[in-house]
Amino acid sequence: EPEVTQTPSHQVTQMGQEVILRCVPISNHLYFYWYRQILGQKVEFLVSFYNNEISEKSEIFDDQFSVERPDGSNFTLKIRSTKLEDSAMYFCASIDDRAYEQYFGPGTRLTVT
C-alpha cells in the first residue's frame, strides 16, 4: 500500500541552525501539507501546497519557514534559524484525488538544543 515517507526520523540541531525536513508524498496525490505537534499538544496545521505554490498557511508559518517541491517526488520544509520552541514532531501529509482522505507520514522529531 502506498505511504507517505519522511526523513530523517529524528533530527537534533542547535538553536540558530537551518534544518530541512523531507517528505515523499503518495505519488498521485495533489495536495501536500505540513503539520507539527509539540509534545503533549494537539496537531497544528502549518502550510498547504498545491500546484507548486502555497495555498494556505497558518500564523505559525512565519518568515523562518519555507516549503519547496524541488522535483516530482520530494516535498521539503525548511526552518531557516531554529528556535527552542521549534522542537516538535513534524508531520507531512498528502491528499488523494478524491480530496478527502489525508494520509500522514511517520513524522520527523526535531529537537533544538
Partner 1 sequence: GEDVEQSLFLSVREGDSSVINCTYTDSSSTYLYWYKQEPGAGLQLLTYIFSNMDMKQDQRLTVLLNKKDKHLSLRIADTQTGDSAIYFCAESTGNTPLVFGKGTRLSVIA
- Residue 2 touches partner 1, criterion: CB under 8 A: no
- Residue 50 touches partner 1, criterion: CB under 8 A: yes
Nearer to partner 1, 91 or 112 (CB): 91
Cell numbers placing 39: 509534545
Q: Greatest CA separation found in the chain?
A: 41
Distance of CA 99 to the CA centre of its chain: 19
- Residue 104 touches partner 1, criterion: CB under 8 A: yes
CB-count burial class (<10 Å; 0-12, 13-18, 19+) for 88: buried
Q: Map residue 109 onto helix, strand or coil.
A: strand
- Residue 7 touches partner 1, criterion: CB under 8 A: no
For the bound state, the minimum distance from the C-beta of residue 16 to partner 1, rounded and expressed in Å, comes to 27
- Residue 24 touches partner 1, criterion: CB under 8 A: no
- Residue 75 touches partner 1, criterion: CB under 8 A: no
**Strand (E) positions, 30-84?**
31-37, 43-50, 53-57, 65-68, 75-79
Cell numbers placing 71: 522535483
Q: Which of 45, 60, 66, 69 binds partner 1 (CB under 8 A)?
A: 45
- Residue 41 touches partner 1, criterion: CB under 8 A: yes
Give the DSSP letter of residue 85.
G
Residues that bind partner 1 (CB under 8 A): 30-31, 33, 35, 41-45, 48, 50, 56, 58, 91, 93, 95, 99-107
